[in-house]
Amino acid sequence: MKKLPPKTNAARILDQAGIKYELMAYDVDESDLSATTVAQKVGMSPELIYKTLVTRGDKTGVLVACIPAHHELNLKALAKVSSNKKVEVVPLKEVQPLTGYIRGGVSPLGMKKKYPVYFQEDILKEEKIAISAGVRGTQIVASSQDILEITQGKTGPISSVHN
């Protein structure tokens, strides 16, 4: 295990809310920032590592999707759940200006603005999940219920297993 970096905004938000969590550090490989690789590095099942994708709906504007590492986002399903006709993933160059985070380190907590967050409904079956701590190389592991509450997340069938 790597030495943990200084506390991130996401971790401070959990501290302020009195939410228990664990930080897990891992070595970053710039050539492979995939969530399934992160799952292997921290020794967790891909079902428990939730990756954060920044999207834009035609009616609601920016929204955030959190899905298991081995899943693929279903844009039509996310549009339906979020009351949009159409949703698209924002271009990579817009991610940092919108969220304050870089690719591979986007957390649904502590973004520059509070965007609506949607989780794949599988989160409801899990006791704990991991999300990015807001920097590459660190994951936050916490109760899925706490993460849903602190992000004011909604759930729905927004992704499916990636083959």
- The model's pTM is 0.94
Consecutive 10-residue averages of pLDDT for the chain (163 residues): 72 96 91 88 94 97 97 97 97 96 94 96 97 94 97 97 76
Nearest CA among 40, 38, 61 for reference residue 52: 38
Nearest CA among 149, 156, 126, 127 for reference residue 13: 149
The answer regarding whether domain 9-161 maps to CATH 3.40.50.720 reads no
| Cα–Cα dist 162/69, whole Å | 9
* H-run or E-run covering 98: helix 92-99
In the block, which residue shows the tokens 């897990």? 24
Which residues, 6 or more positions from 56, have their beta carbon under 8 angstroms from its beta carbon? 62, 63, 87, 88, 90
| Cα–Cα dist 130/50, whole Å | 6
What pLDDT does residue 7 have? 82
| Cα–Cα dist 5/110, whole Å | 17
What pLDDT does residue 32 have? 87
What pLDDT does residue 30 have? 84
What pLDDT does residue 163 have? 65
Sheet of strand 87-89: strand arrangement = 87-89, 50-57, 61-68, 117-120, 154-156
- Condensed to tens digits (0 to 9), the pLDDT of residues 77-103 reads 999 999 999 999 999 999 999 999 999
What pLDDT does residue 2 have? 57
Tokens at 159, concatenated: 């992704």
- How far lies 104's CA from each of 19, 53, 54, in Å? 24, 10, 12
